[in-house]
């Protein structure tokens, strides 16, 4: 997804971008240098950190728009399904209304042919609304039981048909609005990515190499932090096992951090294994914004598909997935948990253990496994256990 960067006070740290290789790292980082490569003499050239932040911001904005696009797309699909259902219902009710009108017409025609007084039934065929029909009480008094039944059926069908037509009209209006939201979000994503590509296309080989070196250092630091988390979790697990052997295991002292029963713990582990097996099988597939597989994914599309393979239904967007489970501390993360990033919750990966996760990063990259600290400690928003 986007470069996934929180807004920071200048100078607090070297901004980072998440890339699978040094070449990609360079391509995802340098915007401002190229943007001002033709700056007038005397103008200050932006630092490499400023360049990297500019590109990072563009990817973050594209990522936020992608999640809005995903939400609008899902809403549009549901609304279109509702409209189709209503229109189908209207068609069926219209046919029933026509049948009821035909029956009333047959009574009117019979009355006219036999000269049996005023063609009472025809009066109802001329009525335009159910209210017109109810206002003609004196006519009902002169009808037979079968005629009255036919009128009742006609009134019912006409009332229900008008109601459904109104619902269909309102649903079509809502569908138009959601389609507009979808179009706007799509245009925003495309614009941000186009801006990033334009900036990156002007980079020099030297600038790419310098950014690659920064990215390498970031990857090394992220790997170190992942190893430290893995050590902490291993110690917690060992302590839990020792306590269990002594017959006084304390729930919550292990890496789960919850009061789950052994059976519940086992159930989650089984589902998590299936979700992780699916996620691992997607490694190497390209990130495509708005994609849910099978050939490509965006971040929330991958986590949704992984847990679906385990029989668990997750919402489509990161905004909803973050509320689809129980939040646990980072130190107690377990394989299968969802790792969310940034204050606006615009990125997600699936934890595999040892401080590592599988995720679909951003345009130009592929589904891969890497440290959950790939953008620093503060980038992690929360850990959520979905089942």
Q: Which two tokens stand for residue 159?
A: 């009332």
Q: How far apart are CA 119 and CA 109, in angstroms?
A: 8
Which positions are catalytic?
299, 347, 359
3-state secondary structure of 229: helix
Query: Chain-centre distance of CA 177, in angstroms?
Result: 18
Q: Please answer whether residues 347 and 285 qualify as being in contact, where contact means their C-beta atoms are separated by less than 8 angstroms.
A: no
Q: How far apart are CA 372 and CA 175, in angstroms?
A: 39
Place of tokens 């009525």: 127
Q: How far apart are CA 183 and CA 317, in angstroms?
A: 17
Q: How far apart are CA 217 and CA 214, in angstroms?
A: 5
Place of tokens 């847990």: 307
Alpha helices in 253-369 (DSSP H): 262-281, 299-309, 318-321
């Amino acid at each position: 997804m986007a470069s996934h960067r929180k807004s920071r006070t200048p100078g607090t740290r070297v901004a980072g971008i998440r890339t699978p290789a040094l070449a990609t790292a360079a391509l995802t980082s340098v915007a401002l240098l190229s943007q001002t490569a033709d700056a007038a003499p005397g103008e200050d050239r932006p630092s490499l950190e400023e360049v990297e932040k500019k590109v990072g911001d563009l990817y973050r904005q594209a990522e936020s728009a992608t999640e809005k696009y995903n939400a609008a797309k899902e809403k549009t699909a549901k609304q279109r399904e509702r409209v189709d259902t209503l229109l189908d219902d209207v068609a069926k009710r219209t046919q029933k209304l026509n049948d009821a009108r035909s029956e009333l017409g047959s009574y009117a025609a019979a009355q006219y042919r036999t000269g049996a007084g005023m063609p009472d039934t025809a009066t109802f065929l001329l009525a335009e609304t159910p209210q017109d029909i109810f206002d003609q009480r004196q006519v009902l008094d002169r009808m037979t039981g079968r005629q009255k039944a036919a009128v009742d059926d006609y009134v019912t069908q006409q009332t229900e048909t008008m109601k459904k037509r109104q619902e269909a009209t309102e649903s079509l209006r809502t569908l138009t609005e959601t389609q507009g939201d979808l179009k706007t979000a799509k245009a925003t994503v495309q614009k941000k990515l186009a801006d990033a590509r334009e900036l990156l296309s002007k980079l020099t080989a030297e600038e790419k190499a310098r950014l690659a070196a920064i990215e390498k250092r970031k990857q090394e630091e992220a790997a170190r932090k992942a190893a430290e988390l893995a050590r902490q979790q291993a110690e917690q697990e060992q302590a839990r096992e020792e306590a269990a052997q002594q017959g006084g295991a304390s729930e919550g002292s292990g890496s789960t951090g919850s009061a789950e029963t052994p059976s519940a713990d086992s159930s989650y582990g089984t589902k998590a294994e299936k979700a992780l097996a699916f996620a691992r099988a997607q490694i190497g597939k390209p990130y495509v914004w708005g994609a849910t597989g099978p050939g490509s994914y965006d971040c929330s599309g991958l986590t949704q598909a992984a847990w679906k393979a385990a029989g668990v239904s997750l919402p489509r967007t990161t905004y909803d997935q973050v509320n689809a489970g129980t939040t646990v501390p980072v130190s107690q993360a377990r394989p299968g948990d969802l790792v969310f990033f940034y204050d606006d919750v615009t990125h997600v990966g699936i934890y595999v253990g040892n401080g590592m996760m599988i995720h679909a990063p951003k345009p130009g990259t592929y589904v891969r496994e890497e440290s959950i600290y790939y953008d620093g400690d503060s980038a992690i928003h929360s850990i959520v256990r979905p089942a």
